[in-house]
Amino acid sequence: MTAVLASFPLLMLLCLVALLALCVVMAVVTWSFDLRHSRLTQATKLEDLEQKLVLESARLVEKQAELQELERKIQDRDRLAAEAAALRDLIDTLKAELAGMAGDRHAIEELKGEAAQVAEEYAQNCEKRDAVLRELKAAEQATLELERRAEALHRELEQQPENIEELRRQRDDLKSELDGLQGERVALLAARQEATELATHKAGLQGELEQLQAHIPEMRQRAEALRAEIDEMNGEQALLLAARQEREEQAARRAGLLEELARLERLVAETRAGFEADQKRREELVRDIALLHSSKNQAAGAVEEAERKSDRLQARQAALEEEIRGLLSQKDQNGTEGTSPDGGNLDDLKLLPQCLRGVATEPRERQIESDALENVVLSLKKRELKYSDRALRAFHTALKINDISQMTVLAGVSGTGKSLLPRCYAEAMGIHFLQIAVEPRWDSPQDMLGFYNYVEQKFRATELARALVQMDPFNTSGLAETPFKDHVLLVLLDEMNLARVEYYFSEFLSRLEVRPARRDVGDESKRRDAWLPADIRGANTAPINLFPSHNVLFVGTMNDDESTQSLSDKVLDRANVMQFAAPKQFAKPSQQSAPPAGDGYRSVASWESWIYPADKLQGGERAIAEGVIQKLAAIMEEFGRPFGHRLNEAMLTYAANYPLRSGQDIAVPLADQIEFRILPKLRGISIEEHRGGFDQLEELLRGNLRDGNFSDRLQDMVDRQGRESGLFNWRGLERT
């Protein structure tokens, strides 16, 4: 073909022209199609998008069906794992019964040996008795014969006096012979006595033999029963072997199922990724549709909105100019003497918080700790509220040691009285109360203290920031005259785990932890590390610091549900977590109004008079506490959740400050600390892998601390959760 075209140049030129014309036509057609497509109406594009949305929805339904099938297979895997665990328990039980029956077989063999030995002894004694009787009979016959001979000789002596001398000699011989026979007779009598004793012994042996013979049928029956049990055990052993083989098969199946599960999990992950991608594409399509639907209205109202915005901006500009002229005029009139150093930027922080308004101005008379607690109990009774005495004393003790355990957390299901206890306690004790509702959006310390509003050029303070300003005995901020430095404030973070506690409260915890001890708090150089800086970076003022003193107590509540966040180790190390158990009986709701508060407030000096250092524990109590903590450290090491010096000191301080009732000892606060400080650290741990650790913990509670109720509750939860989820999660203990 090429040779032909080369021979005819004109023909080749015509082909090139035709090819060029074809390319031009194709380009024109493509441009025309693009032009027509670009001129398509929005409705046509919307229809295409809706068709795509329908297709994506169908794919989404298919993916959801596949996901449900995968979840069903996962549930089947869990059921097979539970059946395998039940078979393992059955095998262990049968092995234990087989080991117990081996002891019974050994006892039967021993009884058979004893019976054979007794029968052999009886036969030997019978032979001895017969020999002695034969010898006794022979001796009696010889004695009779000698007596007859003696009588005959005597008669002969009387008949023949002439031979008297001979007869006398014979008599003497016979007499000596008779004496010998008398000795033999004595020996024979002794033999007869021995024969009598042997006969008595024979009778006794005969009785024992009869008793043994009477027991022989029973022993034979028992032997038959044991043989039957042995046969049954052999059958069970065969079943066990079959079960073991089946278990091995199940293990193989389980391995296959695990591989299948891994494959399914990968498939689930891929499906979820595809589902999320599809969901994202669907959301994008929905947004595009919404944008298409609203684009017309937006385009129509854009000009009108721009005009309104322009009018508003012009009006605001005029108002700002007027305000600036007024401020400048006021400044010219008053000069600089009437202005505040911060220009009014911190007026909101200087305000008195609501929780400190209208409070008593005189302190209460000092009370001993037991009387103050009794006042709280009476106040709760007037409200018809029921809290156990142990829970109340535990809450009171946790607040007392806030210098080493900075938080007291009340956890449990909703509606168990977690928020009501701190409020009622504070009212009855003469402590101010501030409740803060935590919001899910909280993510920084600004949500706790406030922020600087750049538009208003003012610091917007929270109630907590205002309270810290007023409660600071050292007036660190310089914004108050510290009229409340002798007061005590209880701050409640309600539902504190709606947001991540570490995000908004982490800095608070760090500052509270580095506060100097009460005896050193007067040294400003030691207080500086505990200062909380207020966020006033946009204000033209000196930095403002807040100091959370020891007279501010922090309590938090948290609900156990899927909408909340769990506490991190940082919070758990610095908090006593009191878990409120779900009630077993529901009492009638209280209709009583709050009782009137007592006269006066609880002074800091009165409050601190109840607080003791850990060194209060001495002698035997100190040895018991340190021994229990040492065992706990070993148990937690086995769990893989060790603790350090901070927790050791906190537990000793709690035990030293617990107000014991009559008849109680150091075991009560130590058991509380296991519940408040140890069990929360075990949340989510595998029960099957750490069964030994839980057993040691139960033994410590039951043996060393004599708390059977606590030990039973822990054992019940471990067994139940081991069968269900396999993971440990403490749900509290209801004490009476």
Q: Please count the other Cβ atoms lying within 10 Å of the Cβ belonging to residue 71.
A: 12
Kindly report the backbone phi and psi dihedral angles of residue 415, in degrees, each rounded to the nearest multiple of 5, phi listed first: 90, 20
Q: Please, which pLDDT band fits residue 89 given cuts at 50, 70 and 90?
A: confident
The sign of the dihedral angle between the CA atoms of 397, 402, 403, 405 is positive
Contacts by 171-179, CB closer than 8 A, 24 or more apart: 174/149, 174/150, 177/146, 178/146, 178/150
pLDDT for 413 equals 84
Indicate whether 486 pLDDT > 90. yes
Residues 412, 222: Cα–Cα separation, whole Å: 57
For the record, the structure tokens of 124 come out as: 């030997």
Residues 654, 575: Cα–Cα separation, whole Å: 12
Higher pLDDT among residues 309 and 603, named by residue: 603
Residues 198, 203: Cα–Cα separation, whole Å: 8
Q: Tell me: the pLDDT tens digits for 576-624?
A: 999 998 776 655 545 555 555 557 899 999 999 999 999 999 999 999 9
First-to-last alpha carbon distance for the chain, in angstroms, is: 108
Enter the DSSP assignment of 601: B
pLDDT for 716 equals 95
Residues 426, 487: Cα–Cα separation, whole Å: 12
Higher pLDDT among residues 31 and 287, named by residue: 31
pLDDT for 129 equals 67
Q: Tell me: the pLDDT tens digits for 517-572?
A: 888 888 888 999 999 988 776 556 678 899 999 999 999 999 876 556 678 888 88
Q: Tell me: the pLDDT tens digits for 662-721?
A: 889 999 999 999 999 999 999 999 999 999 999 999 999 999 999 999 999 999 999 999
Q: What is the 3-state secondary structure of 702-730?
A: HHHCCCHHHHHHHHHHHHHHHHCCCECCC
pLDDT for 336 equals 38
Q: Is the pTM of this model over 0.85?
A: no
pLDDT for 347 equals 82
Distance of CA 376 to CAs 427, 432, 581, Å? 9, 15, 22
Q: Tell me: the pLDDT tens digits for 217-252?
A: 776 676 676 666 666 766 666 676 776 777 677 777
Q: What is the 3-state secondary structure of 143-204?
A: HHHHHHHHHHHHHHHHHCHHHHHHHHHHHHHHHHHHHHHHHHHHHHHHHHHHHHHHHHHHHH
pLDDT for 636 equals 95
Enter the DSSP assignment of 685: -
Q: Please, which pLDDT band fits residue 44 given cuts at 50, 70 and 90?
A: low
pLDDT for 333 equals 47
Residues 386-406, mean pLDDT to the nearest whole number: 94
Q: Tell me: the pLDDT tens digits for 47-61?
A: 566 666 667 667 777
Q: Please, which pLDDT band fits residue 393 given cuts at 50, 70 and 90?
A: very high
Q: Which of 25-29, 129-133, 425-429 has the lowest mean pLDDT?
A: 129-133
User: In the chain, what are the domains?
Assistant: 52-290 (1.10.287), 348-583 (3.40.50.300), 612-736 (no CATH)
